[in-house]
Amino acid sequence: MTRLINPVRRAAVYARVSTAEQATHGTSLRVQLEECRARAQTNGWVIAGEFVDEGVSGTTANRPALRALLEAARHHALDIVVVTKLDRFARSMRHLHALVAELCDAGVELVTVDGYFDTATSQGRLLRNILGSFAEFERDLIVDRNESGRRQVAIEGYWPGGVIPFGWRAERSNTVHTRLVIDSSEARALRLATSLIVDRGWTLGQVARHLNALGVTPPRTAEWSNTQLRQLLARLPLSGQWTFARHDRRTQHSRSVPVVVAVPPILTARRHEELRQALARSSTKRSAGDLQQFYLLSRGRLIGTCGGRFHGIWRADRGYRQYRCGNSVHDMVPRCSCRRVRADDVEDAVWAAVCDALYHAPLLLEPTSSSHAGPAAASALGAEDLNGRVRTLERALARITLDYARADLPARALRDATRVLQEELTCLRSRMRQAATWHDEQDQAALRHAQLVTLAGRARDTLPTATTQLKACVLALLDARATVVEWTDCATCNVAGKVSGGRGGRTCPACRGSRQVGTIAVEGVIGDGLHNAFARLPSRHNFRGSASAAMPREDRTNSWAVPFRLDVVSHQRQVDRA
């Protein structure tokens, strides 16, 4: 008779405390671990490991010890997870369900010291959900009480806690609460930055470098950057009006009525408004009315001399689009020397090069490598003559082989007798293959040439009045790339950025005030994918409405492809018009 022995079950102990609960009676790590060990010992379980998260909130799923526990469960290194209460494991129903489901998939049970849960039964799941709901309810009550207390503190004019804003410091006014007072050194730096931006017209990058040179330390970083300075100046309550409100983490909407708290002002209300207007004028972020702006060479189609990708920006202060290299941002180290370019100018220049390549597409075909070998191979004898010679040699070899076999001569004598004929036959067959290959390539080249001729005609018919969407489709099908080869000093304005005329001069029409002009290499591949896309377009100029549907952007099934490369000047078309 075989006796079944119950295997020893492996239990893992999990304990957690948050920062606020470490001193609370009954939730310390020592108490939790002792209770879990006692429960495991009572049931005869072996402790396979202890996982402890100290000072981590139960509302977050990103807990180091919890991640290690789940990893051990996935590798089947344990059978049971023991916790004192469900709120030690998770404090939201969504998180609790996800954790229990993952443990169940790994065949691991969840056990609490204050009640045993068999997650395989409906009764156990019901009790688990009830207690999990109470744990979540308790957490929400704690959050609401804390938030109500902070809100009341803000209403009374005190600082409710959190990160002290730059420019102020906390000063205890009584034994319980603190108030914000102006930090003289930080406020002096904010007033200096405001003066440089509003009165002198400095850029944020210039102001950031000036503050770094003065040794002014920004909050939480080593040096100032233009992005950090903009965000700080836009967020700080410089005119003395600070708003306290609780926001939902998912929607970022206010969950309570905002409370306006008065703090000592660093700037007057009028000065603060002037700063806001100056920041708005220099912002490259598109406003709601500018969301329809489109950049034809975005997504890496314009590359700088440094290898960085240009991206489009909207100049709200000047009302036009620009392209800027990603490596030329002020806080990039080292900063590249790529200039900003007007979007209209560079797009016109690149599109003109693309149109020129499509208009002259048949001229891009070059003779193949076998175009000279084919005529040479077929010049001595025609195709029919080659076939006749091959058949004659094959019959002669067959006849000689039969005669030597009847005479019972050795194989070596047969090889010697047919060596010359075999060599001639091999040469003729090679010439026949070369001729066939040459004829096939000529047929394919003729087909490509005919398709390129058709493509050039359709391009001349449609591209002069192409919409922006059609241009984007064509560039995608061509896989076009524009690379700035070099930047040269503008000869029109002698690197001054302006030419004579008007009051104080006018902007140079060649460099657009950037003092340099870029030479751009436009590259792409013309294939039958583009030919087929053009063939689906209507023959006349009424293609605007169906351009996007007729020319899919991601058509890359080219059976043949002809590369092209053209060099253009980024502003040449503007110079010609000027």
Q: Check pLDDT > 50 for residue 518.
A: yes
Angle at 45 between CA 43 and CA 49, to 5 degrees: 140
Higher pLDDT, 508 or 270: 270
* Strand 498-499 relative to strand 109-112, pairing: unpaired
**pLDDT above 70: residue 110:** yes
d(CA 182, CA 535): 71
pLDDT of residue 365: 67
Sequence-distant (≥ 6) Cβ neighbours of residue 192 within 8 angstroms: 211
Task: Give the residue numbers annotated as catalytic, written as ranges.
Answer: 18
Question: Are the C-beta atoms of residues 190 and 236 closer than 8 Å to each other?
Answer: yes
pLDDT at position 502 is 67
Using only C-alpha atoms, the chain has a radius of gyration, in whole angstroms, of 40
- pLDDT digits over 534-551, tens only? 776 655 444 443 444 444
Highest-pLDDT range among 5-9, 349-353, 389-393, 540-544: 349-353
* Residue 563, phi-psi category: left (phi > 0), alpha (psi -120 to 50), beta (remainder): beta
CA 85 to chain centre: 43
pLDDT of residue 116: 55
- Cα–Cα dist 387/186, whole Å: 95
Average pLDDT, rounded, for the chain? 76
**So what's the pLDDT on residue 12?**
92
Angle at 474 between CA 470 and CA 475, to 5 degrees: 120
- Per-residue pLDDT for 510 more than 60? yes
* Residue in 345, 347, 351, 353 with CA at minimum distance from that of residue 508: 345
Instruction: Evaluate the CA torsion angle 257, 262, 263, 267 in order and state its sign.
Output: positive
The string of DSSP letters for 314-364 reads EETTTTEEEEEEGGGSTT-SSPP-PPPEEHHHHHHHHHHHHHHHHHTGGGG
> Is the confidence at residue 292, as pLDDT, over 70?
no
Q: For residue 257, is pLDDT > 60?
A: yes
- Rounded Cα–Cα distance for residues 330 and 211 (Å): 14
- Residue 453 binned pLDDT confidence (cut-offs 50, 70, 90): confident
Q: Which of 71-80, 159-168, 290-299, 431-440 has the highest mean pLDDT?
A: 71-80
Out of 332-336, 524-528, 544-548, which region has the weakest mean confidence (pLDDT)? 544-548
Note the pLDDT of residue 193.
92
Confidence of residue 533 (pLDDT cuts 50, 70, 90): confident
Q: What is the pLDDT of residue 121?
A: 59
